[in-house]
Amino acid sequence: MQRPVSMVHVRAPGKINLALCVGAVRPDGYHDLATVFQAVSVFEEVHAHTAREFSVEFTGPIDTSMLTGDDTLVHRAARLVAAELTAQQRSQFGVAGDALPGIRIVVEKHVPIAGGMGGGSADAAATLLACNVIWDAGLEKERLLELAAMLGADVPFSMLGGTALGLDRGDQLTPVLTAGELAWVLVPSTFGLSTPAVYAELDRLRSTGEVPNPIEAVVAPDLFAALRGGKPESLVNALTNDLEAAAFSLSPELQKLASSLAERPEVLRCMVSGSGPTLAILTQAGSDAVRLAEELRSAGLPAVAAHGPVSGAHFVHDTPADQ
C-alpha cells in the first residue's frame, strides 16, 4: 500500500473547567456531569512517523518518568485505531492477530500530569488523529469522536476544543458561544491528584453532609450569559467547581495556596482546574496574566500564562511519504 504521509505533527490543547457541576453516581461508576470546558493555550505536541515497530516515547519540559508501560492513553488510543483497520490493511502492514502495525509516536508533554487539565486526554485525542493518518485508516471524524469517548470522558472535548458544555459523563458536547479571549494563569502543583480519588472524596463529603448534595447537575445560566458578554469580571461569580472542596479536603496546602493567590490584585478569581491540583487564575487581560505568571515564577511557582478558547486537536504539519 502506498501510504500518503510518513510523518505528522498533531497539537492538542489542555483544558480547564469553567463550571464543573457533579451530580449523582451512575450505575457505571461515573458521575452525571454538567460541565463547561475551555481549551487553553497549553499544548501537547504529538509527532508520529512511519516505522517498522510500534513505539511510544514521552518527552518535554515536564517530568514524564512516571509514564511507563504499554497501557498509557496513547497506547490505548493507538490500539483502538488499529482495531478499526480492515483485514486487508492489516495484511498490507504484515501484522496478524492483535499485533499493532509499526509507528513511532513521540509525545512532547507540556500539560501537567495528573493536574486536572486533561493532558492525558489531549495525548489520546492527538494519537487518534496521528494513527488515523499514518496508518491511512480512513476513519471519519464521527468515528474518531466515538473512539475518543471510549478512552475517557474528557477525550472528545480535546478533539473539539473551543468552549463547550459537556453533559452525561462530560462527553456529550455542545459548543458554547463566547466573545473575546480569557486570560489565565495556570499554576501546576509539584504533586498530582488522582481523578477517581477526588470524585470519591466528594462522595464522602456529601455522604457526611460536609458539602451539599445536589439532586441534579446543572450549569447556572449566568455563566453562558457572562461568556457571551465577553467581560472577564462578569465571569467571576459564575465560575464554579464542585470538585474543589474535595481537592482541598485531600490537600489543605492547595487550599492555602489558592487563598493566598486570591489576595493578589491581578487575580479576578482563583479556582481548582477540574479535579486539580492545577490552579486556574482568571485575570482581566493578557498583560496581567503574563506579569502575574512572571511574578509567581520568580517566587518559585511553575506558573504559565495562557489564553482560551483555542482549537481542539489539529494537524500542524505533515510530510508526504515521497519526500
Hey, what's the cell of 188?
Answer: 501546576
Of 194, 192, 195, 254, residue with least CA distance to 65: 192
- We find the least distance from the C-beta atom of residue 2 to ligand C5P, in angstroms, to be 37
Using CB under 6 A as the binding rule, the residues of this chain from 94 to 153 that contact ligand C5P are 152-153
Nearest residue (CB) to ligand C5P, 33 versus 144:
33
Q: How many Cβ atoms from other residues are within 10 Å of residue 237's Cβ?
A: 12
Contact status: 199 vs ligand C5P (CB under 6 A)? yes
Nearest residue (CB) to ligand C5P, 73 versus 85:
73
CA distance 296 to 189: 13
Nearest residue (CB) to ligand C5P, 54 versus 199:
199
- We find the least distance from the C-beta atom of residue 168 to ligand C5P, in angstroms, to be 8
Contact status: 201 vs ligand C5P (CB under 6 A)? no
Is 98 a catalytic site residue? no
Residue of 170, 188, 308, 312 that binds ligand C5P (CB under 6 A): 170
Residue of 27, 69, 97, 196 that binds ligand C5P (CB under 6 A): 196
Contact status: 27 vs ligand C5P (CB under 6 A)? no
CA distance 38 to 226: 14
Site string for ligand C5P, 32-51 (x = CB under 6 A): -x------------------
Contact status: 19 vs ligand C5P (CB under 6 A)? no
Contact status: 76 vs ligand C5P (CB under 6 A)? no
Which range touches ligand C5P (CB under 6 A), out of 26-34, 59-67, 125-133, 205-213?
26-34
Contact status: 31 vs ligand C5P (CB under 6 A)? yes
Is 15 a catalytic site residue? yes
CA distance 106 to 55: 8
Hey, what's the cell of 97?
Answer: 492477530
Site string for ligand C5P, 210-239 (x = CB under 6 A): ------------------------------
Cα separations in angstroms, 134 against 49, 137, 140, 156, 199: 7, 8, 14, 21, 37
Tell me which of 123, 154, 242, 288 is the catalytic residue: 154
Taking CB atoms, the residue at the shortest distance from ligand C5P is 196
Q: Strand runs (DSSP E) across the chain, as ranges?
A: 5-25, 31-49, 54-59, 103-108, 163-168, 172-175, 182-187, 240-241, 269-272, 279-283, 304-308, 314-320
Nearest residue (CB) to ligand C5P, 101 versus 161:
161
- Bridge partners of 16, per DSSP, are 38
Question: Crossing angle of helices 195-207/243-250, nearest 10°?
Answer: 100
Which range touches ligand C5P (CB under 6 A), out of 25-33, 101-109, 265-273, 310-318?
25-33
Hey, what's the cell of 134?
Answer: 499514518
Size of the site for ligand C5P (CB under 6 A): 11
CA distance 304 to 184: 8
- Dihedral angle, C-alpha 268, 273, 276, 281, nearest 10 °: -30
- Bridge partners of 40, per DSSP, are 14
State the catalytic residues.
15, 154
Q: Which residues bind ligand C5P (CB under 6 A)?
A: 30-31, 33, 152-154, 169-170, 195-196, 199
